[in-house]
Amino acid sequence: MLFTCNAGSRPSFAKDPAVVHLGDSYFLYFSGYQVLDGKEKLVVGIARSKDMEKWNFVDFMPLTQPCEANGVGAPGAYVEDGKVHLFYQTYGNRERDAICHAVSTDGIHFEKDPTNPIYAPTDDWCCGRAIDADVVAFDGKLFLYIATRDHEYKIQKQGCAYAPLGSGYSRDTWTQAINASVLAPELIWEGKCIEAAATLVHEGKIYLFYGGSYNCTPQQIGYAVSMDGVHFVKPQNEPFIRCGGEGDWNASESGHPYAFVDEDGSCHLFYQGSPDGGKTWFLSRCELGFTDGVPFVKKYYNEKTE
C-alpha cells in the first residue's frame, strides 16, 4: 500500500496512521485537513479496506466538542468488545493540547466522550501537553503513551498513563504512571524529539516503536522494549527503519509509526513518509517478524494502489 488522501483541503496529505480490524473490514484513521467555518483545521480521516492494501476514503470525523474547536488529529485506536476506542489529540493549543476519546460500533460513526479531554500529564515534569496518543492492553491495564515537551517547549519526549481494562476510559479512570518521561531523545539521530509511540506486546514485553527527530529533519523509526510498560531500554543505537533515498516516497522521512497485530497474530508497522520536505504525505506499512525477541522487517509494502 501507498495511501494518501485528496478529499481534504491539502492534496496528497495523510499522516499519523492508526489501524484496527473490526468485523470484515480494516479501518485506517489518519490526520488530514479540512476547511471548516472558513478556517483550515486538522481533522481525523477514515478509510476502509478488506485487505490492508487497497484503502477507500470514507469520511472525516466531525468536530463537535468545544475542546476540538481548533482541530484534532494523530489518532490511536483499540478494539474492545466489538467497539473501536479512538484516542486522539486536540490541535493548535500548544501547552493546552490534550487527549480525547470516542467510541464506535461500526468504525465510522463515533460517540465522543463527554469528559473530553480525558488526559494530559501533570506539568511538574513537562509543559503539560499531550499529543500522539497510542494505547496497548498489558497486565490488566490499558497503557496510554503520549508525546509531550519540556518546559522550554524544545524537547519532545514520551509520557505514560494507564486505566483498568474495561473501565470506559473517561477522564477519571486514568492514572499517570510516573511523574517523568518514560522515553526521551538521547541518540544522535533522535535529535530533540521522540514522538508517536507505536506499541505491541510480544512474549510478555511491550515493544514501543517511535519517531525519532522532528518531521523531515529527517524523522526515522526506532524502538525500545519494556517488561512493565514504564521502564524502557533501547536495544540498538541506529534507526530501525530509515528514510528513503532521493526520489523515494519517503526521501524526507519515515516516521510516526503505528503497530497493529492482526487477528491471525501477524504484526504490521504502519508509518508515514514524505518525498518533498513535508509538502505531501503518504502512508505505507511493513510486516514485522521476531527472532529471539529482536524485531525485523519481513516485507515492505510501499507500492501505490488506487
Instruction: Note the pLDDT tens digit of each residue in 25-76.
Output: 999 999 999 999 999 999 999 999 999 999 999 999 999 999 999 999 999 9
Given a cut of 70, is residue 306 above it in pLDDT? no
pLDDT of residue 215: 97
Q: What is the mean pLDDT of the chain?
A: 97
Which long-range CB contacts under 8 A does 124-127 form with residues at least 24 apart?
Answer: 124/179, 125/179, 125/180, 125/181, 126/150, 126/151, 126/157, 126/159, 126/181, 127/95, 127/151, 127/153
Separation of CA 73 from chain center: 9
The Cα 250–Cα 254 span in angstroms is: 6
pLDDT of residue 189: 98
1 in a domain, yes or no?
no
Q: Compute the average pLDDT of residues 92-106.
A: 98
The three grid cell numbers given for residue 245, joined into one nine-digit string: 533515498
Given a cut of 90, is residue 233 above it in pLDDT? yes
76 in a domain, yes or no?
yes
Q: 222 pairs with which residues across the strands?
A: 210
264 in a domain, yes or no?
yes
114 in a domain, yes or no?
yes
| Parallel/antiparallel/unpaired status of strands 141-149 and 156-164 | antiparallel
Angle at 12 between CA 246 and CA 69, to 5 degrees: 125
* CATH code: domain of residue 270: 2.115.10.20
How many structural domains compose the chain?
1
Given a cut of 80, is residue 268 above it in pLDDT? yes
pLDDT of residue 182: 98
Given a cut of 90, is residue 130 above it in pLDDT? yes
Indicate the pLDDT class of residue 1, thresholds 50, 70 and 90: confident
Boundaries of domain holding 182: 15-301
Indicate the pLDDT class of residue 305, thresholds 50, 70 and 90: low
9 in a domain, yes or no?
no
Residue from 197, 206, 207 nearest 228 by CA:
206
Given a cut of 80, is residue 303 above it in pLDDT? no
241 in a domain, yes or no?
yes
7 in a domain, yes or no?
no
Q: Compute the average pLDDT of residues 259-286.
A: 97
Condensed to tens digits (0 to 9), the pLDDT of residues 274-301 reads 999 999 999 999 999 999 999 999 999 9
140 in a domain, yes or no?
yes
pLDDT of residue 112: 98
Q: What is the pTM of this model?
A: 0.97
pLDDT of residue 302: 81
